[in-house]
Amino acid sequence: MNTQIMDKQEIRSLELFAKKIRLNMIKSLFNLGFGHYGGSLSIVETLAVLYGKVMHIDPQNPNLVERDYFILSKGHAGPAYYAALALTGYFNLDRLYTLNQFGTKLPSHPDRRLTPGVDMTTGSLGQGISAACGVAKSFQMDRTKQYVYCIVGDGELNEGQCWEAFQFAAHNKLDHLIVFLDENKKQLDGPTHEVCQTYDYAEKLRAFGFDTQKVDGKSVEKIVMAVEEAKKTTGKPHIIILDTVKGQGFPYLEQKEDNHHVRPTENEKEIIRQFIEELEQKIGGDKDA
């Protein structure tokens, strides 16, 4: 594979961006007192790649007509999305502390009518991916160069609607649709293999007509390469299966079994406080918020 896509410095800067997303996301959830830590953390690297390099967007002009679109189909990971948007310049970092407050513009689940940079309202699982298909179909009809990126959860794929969307995407040859599957191996009630066996998603999606890749979802470099690779294949929709960990990048939460929605205990609050400090130190003087 082509490793020349990025030099070392660019990789480091994307890694730093991911750290900042992680830090600011955790700070906003910590300030709120509860939330969907696990699934927010596992998409941080992917968001860093999308908002730090891949997407054609203009934070000063969120409605830029020829922008790339992004739909977070697993809407409960909104807090990570908001941190990425704030750090990209869609709004002030301070706003992250209004997460879920009365009258907020940052509700738990993304709302396109409230938040600049949010392209689609999501939260009822399985629906965002269909909207992404609609956007991709529209791009195809208009023969534009735009891409639509969409993140789905591995539990979310239980929903039949996802597979309707996949059939639609393949049949319509939506090659400007790039789907990320956050395979963190857990859903709300536990490990996916206990709740609803997923079998091999790569095999299934290949059979559904997708250009399929599986990459390390902790590596910004691998994710960038996968996107570049996907764009080389035409006539098929793309799926990049991200091998991730629920709670990714926060060792304590990675280990914690029930990490979907967390309301930290006093002891856990201390652990989070320490982790925030650690991240701030790693990021150095450039910590923002």
Partner 1 sequence: MLKPAICEMRKVYVDTLIELAKRDKNIVVLEADLAGAIGTKRFGEIYPNQYINCGIMEANMVGVAAGLSLTGKHSFIHTFSSFAARRAFDQIFMSLAYAGLDAVMLGSDAGITSEHNGGTHMSFEDIGLMRMLPNCIVTEASDEVMLKKLLLKAYEKGGLWYIRTSRKKVPRIYDLDENFEIGTAKVVKDGNDVAILAYGISVADAYEGAMLLETEGIRAAVIDMFSIQPLDFQMILHYADKTGAIVTVENHQIAGGLGSATAEVLAENKKAVKFTRLGIKGRYGQTGTIDYLKKDYGIDKYSIADQVKKLLG
Ligand X SMILES: Cc1ncc(C[n+]2csc(CCOP(=O)(O)OP(=O)(O)O)c2C)c(N)n1
121: partner contacted, choices Mg ion, partner 1, ligand X, none (Cβ within 5-8 A by kind): partner 1
User: Residue 62 CB, nearest distance to ligand X (Å)?
Assistant: 25
Greatest distance between any 2 Cα atoms in the chain: 55
Q: Mask of contacts with ligand X, 109-138, x by CB under 6 A?
A: --------------xxxx------------
Euclidean distance between CA atoms 161 and 130, whole angstroms: 8
Helix (H, G, I), strand (E, B) or coil at 152: strand
- Rank residues 75 and 153 by Cβ distance to Mg ion and give the closer one: 153
Burial (CB count within 10 angstroms: exposed 0-12, middle 13-18, buried 19+), residue 94: exposed
- Rank residues 61 and 124 by Cβ distance to ligand X and give the closer one: 124
Tell which one of 5, 10, 97, 109 touches partner 1 (CB under 8 A).
109
User: Residue 187 CB, nearest distance to ligand X (Å)?
Assistant: 4
Tell which one of 24, 98, 146, 187 touches ligand X (CB under 6 A).
187
Assigned token pair, 209: 């007509």
Euclidean distance between CA atoms 263 and 253, whole angstroms: 12
User: Residue 154 CB, nearest distance to Mg ion (Å)?
Assistant: 4
Does residue number 78 form part of the binding site for ligand X (CB under 6 A)? no
- CA-wise closest residue to 43 among 230, 206, 179: 179
User: Residue 33 CB, nearest distance to partner 1 (Å)?
Assistant: 10
Helix (H, G, I), strand (E, B) or coil at 62: coil
Does residue number 179 form part of the binding site for ligand X (CB under 6 A)? no
Helix (H, G, I), strand (E, B) or coil at 89: coil
Assigned token pair, 183: 């395979």
Q: Where are the beta strands (DSSP E) in 65-218?
A: 69-72, 148-153, 177-183, 186-187, 190-191, 211-216
Does residue number 119 form part of the binding site for partner 1 (CB under 8 A)? no
Sign of the CA dihedral with 82 first, then 87, 89, and 92 last: positive
Does residue number 196 form part of the binding site for partner 1 (CB under 8 A)? yes
Tell which one of 35, 107, 128, 155 touches Mg ion (CB under 5 A).
155
User: Residue 46 CB, nearest distance to partner 1 (Å)?
Assistant: 21
Does residue number 13 form part of the binding site for partner 1 (CB under 8 A)? no
- Rank residues 35 and 249 by Cβ distance to partner 1 and give the closer one: 35
Could you report how far apart the first and last alpha carbons of the chain are, in Å?
Answer: 38
74: partner contacted, choices Mg ion, partner 1, ligand X, none (Cβ within 5-8 A by kind): ligand X
